[in-house]
Amino acid sequence: MSAVRARLARRGDESGFGLAEVLVAMMLFMLVTTGLIYTMVSILKVTHDSRARIVASNLAAEEIDLARSTADLFQLLDSSRDVTVGTETYHVDVKTRWVSDPDAEFQCGSSGSGSSELRFKRVNVTVTWGGMDATDNPVRSDTVVNPSDHINDPDKGTILVSVLKADGTGAAGISVSASPSVGSVILPTDAQGCTYVLKVSPGTYTVSVSRSGYVTETQQTSGSRTVTVTAGTASSVGFQMDGAGTFNAKMAPGTTGLKLPTDLKTTFWNTYGIFAMSPTTGGGSQSQTFKLHPYPSGYSAYAGVCAAADPAQWPETTSGGHTLRGASGTPVAAAPLGSVDIDVPMGVVKLKGFSSGGTYLRAESVNTGGDDPGCATTTSYAFGSVLPTSSGSQVSIALPYGSWRFYRGTSAGSTTTAIGASDIVLPGTLVPERTTKSTSGGTAYVTFDPRVEVTP
């Protein structure tokens, strides 16, 4: 106080506050202001979160009311939508499940043993919003909805149909039919890949599924299963079907101007199976397309169907101190209803003695024994009428791996004249590199050996 009085006494002193005093005052002001701003921001955030939670609760209640007002429970399905209120966007997610027992949810396609029957539907609504804090819980609301009419008939049964896509999720929009004709079929499958055949008389039925552009896991455009129905129970039947992927196959890549068999099949394989497929388009050409089930793991491919056509079937061997082994192609995957390119290697050879008027050509498999796995039965490929594509009346053709002899004739039914060794010409660059020409029993043949040197 004495210092203050002394300062006041010095009326003529205009020196003011010192720098240290100004800095202290500014620091105190900043602390007070920061506290006020933090408090205001916290209040605004709490207010915003409270308002958002109220809106989310209203949206959840609205969705529950819509579910309860649904006249047909088979039309009450999973759904998801965004709703914008003010400047905030809310995501409303609805999950539905049939309930066959008060203590258990009923999954489409699950076992229908015992006295299982459809009773009511459980509906769960979850609402989240964009500005939601990571530690906040979403708004949830649940209800069960009873059918307005009886679903089950004690003297009849129900067929539960489940259709899944390649990734294991439900396949929607699949048409379902039953033979002989029965009850009421809800078509098509819903968002969960489910549909139901109701009030079915006891007996055995064939249930079929199909959809344009879709194929089953066995590459069929439709699928069928047999199911037995007993009174008062629900029987289930499951399928796998998805939008076919288009595989654009480049046959014998790296070489152009080749003639291919018109009846050639290409084998696609993965851990789920081996599928010998005829092309959808492009048969006999080097650009062929195939429609296949879109397994996420994809497919490896090789031309032909014989054991010799598969490089992996050729035994490992040693030549010149080097290990030789046949290697399968790298798997390629196509998305559902998508498209992807895939290479299909083949053997290449040239044949002479073809006229400009056209000559019919046929290749026939040869089981040479030894390392060549050969074909289980004699396999023959027709090329139709071929025209020379280069000087010297030559034609260049491609065939699956293995051993082949060649025949020609003036018509498709007269390809019985064997083509001799002098008219079989190996290309300058061998495809594959272990291609050889041999003669057995007076008939020349070519062996396409796919094995390559293994890099240490």
| pLDDT tens figures, 351-405 | 998 877 778 999 999 999 889 999 999 999 999 888 776 556 889 999 999 999 9
User: How many CA atoms does the CB half-sphere of 303 hold within 13 Å?
Assistant: 31
- Pair 207, 223: CB distance under 8 Å: no
How confident is residue 158, by pLDDT bands cut at 50, 70 and 90?
A: confident
For the beta carbon of residue 271, count every other beta carbon within 10 angstroms: 7
Question: Who has greater pLDDT, 161 or 373?
Answer: 373
> Per DSSP, what are the bridge partners of residue 359?
386
Is it the case that residue 300 has pLDDT exceeding 90? yes
> Per DSSP, what are the bridge partners of residue 350?
396, 425
How confident is residue 289, by pLDDT bands cut at 50, 70 and 90?
A: very high
**Three-state secondary-structure class, residue 109:** coil
Question: Who has greater pLDDT, 253 or 105?
Answer: 253
Look at residue 396 in the predicted model and tell me its pLDDT.
93
Question: Who has greater pLDDT, 217 or 100?
Answer: 217
Q: What average pLDDT does range 294-309 have in this prediction? A: 96
Q: What average pLDDT does range 424-447 have in this prediction? A: 93
Q: How far is CA 356 from CA 180, 278, 360, in A?
A: 58, 29, 12
Is it the case that residue 156 has pLDDT exceeding 80? yes
Nearest C-alpha neighbor of 394 from the set 403, 406, 404: 406
Is it the case that residue 20 has pLDDT exceeding 60? yes
| pLDDT tens figures, 311-353 | 999 999 998 888 999 988 899 999 999 999 999 999 999 999 8
Look at residue 114 in the predicted model and tell me its pLDDT.
41
How confident is residue 113, by pLDDT bands cut at 50, 70 and 90?
A: very low
Q: Which segment of 20-24, 108-112, 268-272, 286-290 scores lowest on mean pLDDT?
A: 108-112
Q: How far apart are CA 102 and CA 120, in angstroms?
A: 9
Question: Who has greater pLDDT, 125 or 181?
Answer: 125
Q: What average pLDDT does range 83-112 have in this prediction? A: 71
Nearest C-alpha neighbor of 65 from the set 98, 107, 105, 94: 94
Q: How far is CA 209 from CA 159, 232, 379, in A?
A: 13, 25, 35
How confident is residue 183, by pLDDT bands cut at 50, 70 and 90?
A: low
Q: What average pLDDT does range 68-75 have in this prediction? A: 76
Look at residue 1 in the predicted model and tell me its pLDDT.
54
- Pair 239, 164: CB distance under 8 Å: yes
How confident is residue 70, by pLDDT bands cut at 50, 70 and 90?
A: confident
Look at residue 115 in the predicted model and tell me its pLDDT.
42
Q: How far apart are CA 23 and CA 373, in angstroms?
A: 92
Is it the case that residue 142 has pLDDT exceeding 60? yes
What percentage of the chain has pLDDT greater than the value 70? 86
The reported pTM is: 0.73
Is it the case that residue 141 has pLDDT exceeding 60? yes
| Most confident range, picked from 36-40, 113-117, 146-150 | 36-40
DSSP string, 401-422: SEEEEEEEESSGGG--EEPPGG
| Tokens encoding 151 | 């679903």
| Tokens encoding 377 | 């039965």
DSSP-derived pairing of the beta strands 234-243 and 157-164: parallel
Phi, psi for 28 (deg, rounded to 5): -65, -40
Domains of the chain: 72-242 (2.60.40.1120), 245-344 (2.60.40), 347-453 (no CATH)
> Per DSSP, what are the bridge partners of residue 308?
none
